[in-house]
Structure 1
Amino acid sequence: MKVRQHQYFYTYDSVGSFLRPDSLKAAYQQVATGEISQDEFTEIEHNAVQDLVQKEVAHGLHVVSDGEFNRENFFLDFLAGLNGVEVVPDGFKLNFSGQELVADGLKLNGKLAYAPDHPFFTDFEFLHSILPLGVQAKVTIPAPTPLLFEGDFAVIDNYRDFYASRADYLADILKVYQQTINRFYELGLRYIQLDDPWLLGVTLPVAGMQGAENEERVEKLEDEIVSLIQEIIASAPDDLIFATHICRGNFHSSSLGGGTYASIVHVLQQLPYDAFFMEYDDPQADGNFEPLAQIHRAQPQAVFVLGLVTTKSPQLEPKRALQHQILEAAEIVPLRNLGLSTQCGFASTADGNDLTEQQQWHKLAIVVQTARDTWRADACHF
C-alpha cells in the first residue's frame, strides 16, 4: 500500500450537512407530489445553496459544501442515482435510540453501474460555479461499505439475483466508485469525503455479527472494506484529497450507538485517507484518543479532525475545554496532524437535528474561533 503525501492542511472544517431552510424542506414534498416542477425545485435548491455558501464563508470556513441540500438522506440519494438501483418506498428502517427512521430502501434491478448523468454531477457544477476565490469545495458521498453488508443491516440485499459471485459484485462496486470519482475530478473537484458510519456497523447488535461464531464473517467483511477503499484511493489522482467521517449514526439528535474506534483500529490503520473526521463529543461513548496513535503510525500523512463540538444539542462547548481536549490529543499525535470540527453534520436527513439555524452557526463559530486560537493562525493553513 502506497503511503500518501501529507496534503490536508486545514485546522478546522465542517462535516458537510447543514440544516435545510423551511422553503427547501417544503420543496422536497412539493416536487414529489407534482405541486412544483423539477425546474422550480432546482431554483429553490440553488437559492438555498447560494445563501448557505455565503454564510459558510462569512463564518470563516475555507472549505464549503452545498449542505447536502441536493438530497433527503446522506447516503440513499447517491446510491439511488446509480444505474441498476431501484428505490423501494419506505423500505429502509433503523431505530436511533428510540427514534425510528423510515426512508426509501434500495434494491438492484440489474447490475450495478456508473451513471454518467448522475444528478450529483450537475449539483457539484453549480456549487463550483459560485465558489468565492480561495475557497475549497467538498463533496460528500457514502463510502462503499453499506453495499457490503448482508442480512438485517443490508442496504441492498438482492445482489445475488444479478451476480454469479461476490467477487463480481465487488468488482462492479469498485468500478462505479472509480468512474464516479474520476468524473467529479474532471469537473474540478479536489476534495471528496466518503462518509462511513457503517464501518462501526460490525459492532452493532442490529448487524448480527457479534459472537465468536461470526469472527470469520467479520474478518472477511473488513478485508473487503479495506481492499475496496485502498483501490479507490490508489486509482485516483494524487492531488485529490480523500477524507472519511466515521460516526455512530445521526437522526433527530439521536445515534445508533456502536463500539469505539479502538474496536476497529485494525481497519482504520489500513485506510490511506488524508483526513479522518472522528466523533469525540461524548468521551464515555467515543473512548479516548489512544487509537489515533496506532492509525498515525500506519498513516503518518493523515489528519485527525476531532469532532469535539456536538451537533446533537444547542449547548455551546466552552472554548477552554475544547482547547484542553485538542492539546490532550496532541500528546498522542503531533498537533500538525490534528484539526477541529463538529462531531457530525447538522442534518444527515432532511429533518435535521434538534437545533435552530442560529444555534447551528453558533456551533460553527466556536469551532473556527477555537481552532484559530489553538493553532495561533488567523487562517486555515499553517
Structure 2
Amino acid sequence: MQPPFRAEHIGSLLRPRPLLDRRRQYNAGSITRAALTEAENEAIADAVALQERSGLKLATDGEFRRRSYHSFFYQQLGDISIDTVAGEDARGAGTGGRAAQPVAVIKSQVQWTHPINVDDYKFISARTKALPKITIPGPCALHFRGGDAAVLAHAYRDLDTFWSDTVEAFRKELTALYDAGCRYVQIDETAFAKFGDPDVQASLKARGDDWDALIDAYIDVTNRMLRRLPEDLHIGMHLCRGNRGGQWHSEGSYDDVADRLFNALDIRFYFLEYDSPRAGTFTPLRLVPKHKSIVLGLVSTKTPELEDIGALKRRVENATRYVDLDRLAVSPQCGFASVDTGNPVTPDAQEAKLRLVASLAQEIWGTA
C-alpha cells in the first residue's frame, strides 16, 4: 500500500526530557555537537520503535533534531531570521492566552546550497521497516507570516524573483530527497487553513494584502514547486491553524479555500484538522475530486484526554457523506510538538493516541 496509510500521524513527537536537557547543555556550550547528535540518535531510535509498536506503517524522526517544524529548514536557505513580532497571535483557552508568534524576515536571497533532510531520511530508513516520512515546511509561509514587507525590506526588490528563488530551492530539496531514496514527503503549509478566519482576513487586508488573491498566488507557487516531480514521490499537504503549546492561531472552516484547495492545487492528499469545531464541518469535502484522498485529523494533540473510538467512527461515517470511505484515512490533527517544548500531553497519552488512531483504522478498514 502506498501513502497515505489508513492510520497516519503528522510528524512531530514529544521530545524526551534527556534530549531537551542535552540541547540546553549544547546551547550553553557545555557539551559538543557530537554529544548532542548522539542524544538525538538515541531518542530518534526510541521514537521509531514507538511508532512501530503503535501499529503505524510510517515512521518519522519525531522532528527531534529541530527546535520547531519550520525554522530548521528556512534558516538553511539563507539569512532568514525567525523573529517574534506583533501580529498573528496564538489564541488558546486556559493557560494559553495571546502570545506573539515568530515570523520569517528574509535578509538574503533564498538559495538551496546543500541537502537539508537527506541525512535525516537515511538515519530513519536504516532503522525501520516502516516507510520513512520526511516533513518540511511549505514555501508560502515565508511570505504569509510577514507579507511583502518581510520579503522586500532587505534582499529582494520584487516578489517574482523571491518566488522563483523559493520554488527552485524547494524543488532542489525534494529532488535530493528522491535521489536518496525517499518516497514520502509531507508539506506543512500553514497558510491555507487560516484564510477561513475573518480575523486573519482582516489583518491581511490591513497590511495591504488581498487575501483572496493570495490563495491563488500560493497555489501557483506550490504547483510550480511540484511540477514534473517523479510520480512515485508521494507528497501530501498538512494544513494547520497553529499548534504551539496547545494553542492555536486561527479558527474557521475550509469553505473559503476548499474549491481551489482541492481542485487547483496539484496535491494528491491532504491532512486536514478536524479535532474541534474551530475547523468547521465536513461539508467542504464535497468538493474533493475523485482522484484525491483526505486524512481526517480527528484526534487532538492539544489535550491529554483520550477520544472515544465509537465517537470517532461516527465522525468518519459522517465524512463519508461527502468523500467515499476508500479515499479517507485518519490521524491526529497535528503533531505533538510543533516546537520542542511540546504540547500539554504526557508521553503515555501520546502513545495512547497513536494506538487509538491505528485501532480506529483497523476497525474501519481492517488495516492501519
TM (normalized to structure 2)? 0.91
Structure 2 distance, partners of 1:359, 1:219, is: 39
Are the aligned partners of 1:193 and 1:245 in contact in 2 as well (CA < 8 Å)?
yes
* 1:256 positional shift: 1.4
Tell me the equivalent position of 1:114.
112
* 1:208 positional shift: 4.3
Tell me the equivalent position of 1:3.
none
* 1:102 positional shift: 6.4
Structure 2 distance, partners of 1:17, 1:117, is: 20
1:261-300 equivalences under 5 Å are: 261-269=254-262, 270-282=264-276, 284-294=277-287, 296-297=288-289, 300=290
Structure 2 distance, partners of 1:42, 1:156, is: 37
Give the letter for the 2:61 counterpart.
Answer: D
1:36-185 equivalences under 5 Å are: 36-82=31-77, 84-87=78-81, 94-97=89-92, 98-99=96-97, 106-118=104-116, 120-132=117-129, 135-149=130-144, 153-154=146-147, 157-185=150-178
Q: Secondary structure at the match of 1:367?
A: helix
CA 337–117 in structure 1, closer or farther in 2 if over 3 Å, else same: closer
Are the aligned partners of 2:7 and 2:329 in contact in 1 as well (CA < 8 Å)?
yes
Structure 1 distance, partners of 2:148, 2:84, is: 12
* 1:325 positional shift: 0.8
CA 204–190 in structure 1, closer or farther in 2 if over 3 Å, else same: farther
- Over the matched positions of the two proteins, sequence identity in percent amounts to 27
Structure 2: gaps spanning 5 or more residues? none
Q: Secondary structure at the match of 1:157?
A: helix
Deviations 1:349-373 (A, max 9, x none): 1111111100100111111111101
Are the aligned partners of 2:201 and 2:211 in contact in 1 as well (CA < 8 Å)?
no
* 1:89 positional shift: 6.1
Greater displacement, 268-277 / 67-76: 268-277
Structure 1: gaps spanning 5 or more residues? 1-5
Are the aligned partners of 2:194 and 2:240 in contact in 1 as well (CA < 8 Å)?
no
Which of 9, 15, 21 is the matching residue for 1:20?
A: 15
Residue 199 (structure 2) pairs with residue 205 (structure 1): yes
Deviations 1:256-290 (A, max 9, x none): 123211121133122222221111111x2211111
Residue 36 (structure 2) pairs with residue 34 (structure 1): no
Structure 1 distance, partners of 2:173, 2:235, is: 14
Are the aligned partners of 2:90 and 2:97 in contact in 1 as well (CA < 8 Å)?
yes
Structure 2 distance, partners of 1:172, 1:60, is: 40
CA 165–154 in structure 1, closer or farther in 2 if over 3 Å, else same: closer
Structure 2 distance, partners of 1:72, 1:214, is: 29
Deviations 1:296-321 (A, max 9, x none): 22xx2221111111111111111111
Structure 2 distance, partners of 1:88, 1:344, is: 21
Q: Secondary structure at the match of 2:23?
A: helix
Structure 2 distance, partners of 1:185, 1:38, is: 28
Structure 2 distance, partners of 1:164, 1:188, is: 37
Are the aligned partners of 1:147 and 1:156 in contact in 2 as well (CA < 8 Å)?
no
Are the aligned partners of 1:8 and 1:302 in contact in 2 as well (CA < 8 Å)?
no
Deviations 1:121-144 (A, max 9, x none): 322221122122xx1010111111
Are the aligned partners of 2:143 and 2:151 in contact in 1 as well (CA < 8 Å)?
no
CA 104–315 in structure 1, closer or farther in 2 if over 3 Å, else same: closer
Tell me the equivalent position of 2:6.
11
Residue 201 (structure 2) pairs with residue 244 (structure 1): no
Greater displacement, 348-357 / 233-242: 233-242
CA 99–24 in structure 1, closer or farther in 2 if over 3 Å, else same: farther
Give the letter for the 2:186 counterpart.
Answer: Q
* 1:210 positional shift: 5.8
Residue 224 (structure 2) pairs with residue 231 (structure 1): yes
Give the letter for the 1:328 counterpart.
Answer: N
Are the aligned partners of 2:125 and 2:132 in contact in 1 as well (CA < 8 Å)?
yes
* 1:85 positional shift: 2.1
Structure 1 distance, partners of 2:82, 2:172, is: 25
Tell me the equivalent position of 2:320.
330
Greater displacement, 162-171 / 96-105: 96-105
Deviations 1:193-212 (A, max 9, x none): 1112222333363564466x
CA 102–23 in structure 1, closer or farther in 2 if over 3 Å, else same: farther
Greater displacement, 99-108 / 168-177: 99-108
Are the aligned partners of 2:282 and 2:322 in contact in 1 as well (CA < 8 Å)?
yes
Give the letter for the 1:130 counterpart.
Answer: R
TM (normalized to structure 1)? 0.88
